[in-house]
Amino acid sequence: MSKTISFHLQKGGVGKTTISGTLASQSALSGYSTLLVDVDPQGNASSWFYDGELQWELSDVLQGKCFIQEAIVEIATIPNLFMLPTFGIGGGLKQYAETKIADEPYVLQDLVKELSQSFDRIILDLSPGLGKLERSALIASDEIITPMTPEVFSLDGLEIFIDELEKIKKNLRSPVKHDKIIINSFDERIRQHKDIFEAALSGSFTVFKIPVDPVFRKSQERNIAPQLYKMRGRGLKPVTIEAIKTIDSSIWR
Ligand SMILES: Nc1ncnc2c1ncn2[C@@H]1O[C@H](COP(=O)(O)OP(=O)(O)OP(=O)(O)O)[C@@H](O)[C@H]1O
Ligand SMILES: [Mg+2]
């Protein structure tokens, strides 16, 4: 059965796109047909994975301007990886979210339902914030996993998110799971990072860590998945590869 996951915290820059793109790549590399849906008007996931000219985007599909199949692009470097993109510049998703989505809160859920017939796994990359677009993506998910950076403001952000999610859950047509956290950009050598990890563990969440690794940024600059990045024979740190595999093997069950 197909599963849809969103990686979300309303806070900006915690690694939502990096984790969405990395885990979508990992899933595809494991042989599962995987779709990354760019639900962020910034279009970061799209510009990371797709270097060419795009004709259609998510907001066109949502408004019936094109067929779903016309907008989905294949990611050439990774077999089994597909994307439903959003244009960063000149795109229509921001305007759609501001003017139309209030009347259609289940539009993404309906779309995901249709997509789940064609893909084993779907990952939604969301924009920061908790507006109507993000809410509509959250209710379209089977599971929400929260990425956070190891800093106290992220812990505050998690509390706010849990509170907001309780309210969102009242509008759900089907249940959404939220029991995992990923502490991103983790550095074992920094005391504060360990303290934040301990604090996160004290809740009822399963807590994962992704180490700080410059290959994430470099792979985004090169338009490839981090798993494929190599510079003078070096790519992701072994500890990062291990973390990605651990998370990948836990989240799709
Ligand atoms: N584990 C990591 N190690 C090093 N750099 C990282 C790591 N994770 C993410 N980054 C870098 O941090 C920056 C922000 O990451 P990203 O864009 O994924 O965050 P985001 O939560 O999607 O941001 P936004 O809220 O704007 O959508 C990027 O430059 C990315 O390359
Ligand atoms: Mg992002």
Spacing, Cα 89 to ligand 2 middle (Å): 15
CA 123 – CA 34 distance, rounded (Å) = 8
Spacing, Cα 127 to ligand 2 middle (Å): 6
Spacing, Cα 65 to ligand 1 middle (Å): 32
Nearest to 126 by CA among 111, 104, 113, 141: 141
The per-residue pLDDT for range 182-197, each reduced to its tens digit, is: 999 999 999 999 999 9
Residue 229 reports pLDDT greater than 80: yes
Q: What is the pTM of this model?
A: 0.97
84 Cβ contact partners less than 8 Å away, ≥ 6 residues apart: 35, 36, 37, 38, 58, 61, 68, 71, 72, 115
Query: Which homologous superfamily is 3-251 in?
Result: P-loop containing nucleotide triphosphate hydrolases (3.40.50.300)
Residue in the block written with tokens 């009347």: 103
Name the closest-CA residue to atom 30, ligand 1.
217
The per-residue pLDDT for range 101-154, each reduced to its tens digit, is: 888 889 999 999 999 999 999 999 999 999 999 999 999 999 999 999 999 999
Rounded percentage of the chain residues whose pLDDT exceeds 90: 93
Determine if ligand 1 sits within 6 Å of the CB of residue 6.
no
Tokens describing residue 221: 């600059």
Give the dihedral of Cα atoms 185, 191, 194, 195; nearest 10 deg: -120
So where are the chain's domains?
3-251
Residue 170 confidence (pLDDT): 84
Tokens describing residue 233: 């024979």
Residue 19 confidence (pLDDT): 99
Name the closest-CA residue to atom 16, ligand 1.
15
Tokens describing residue 66: 């094109």
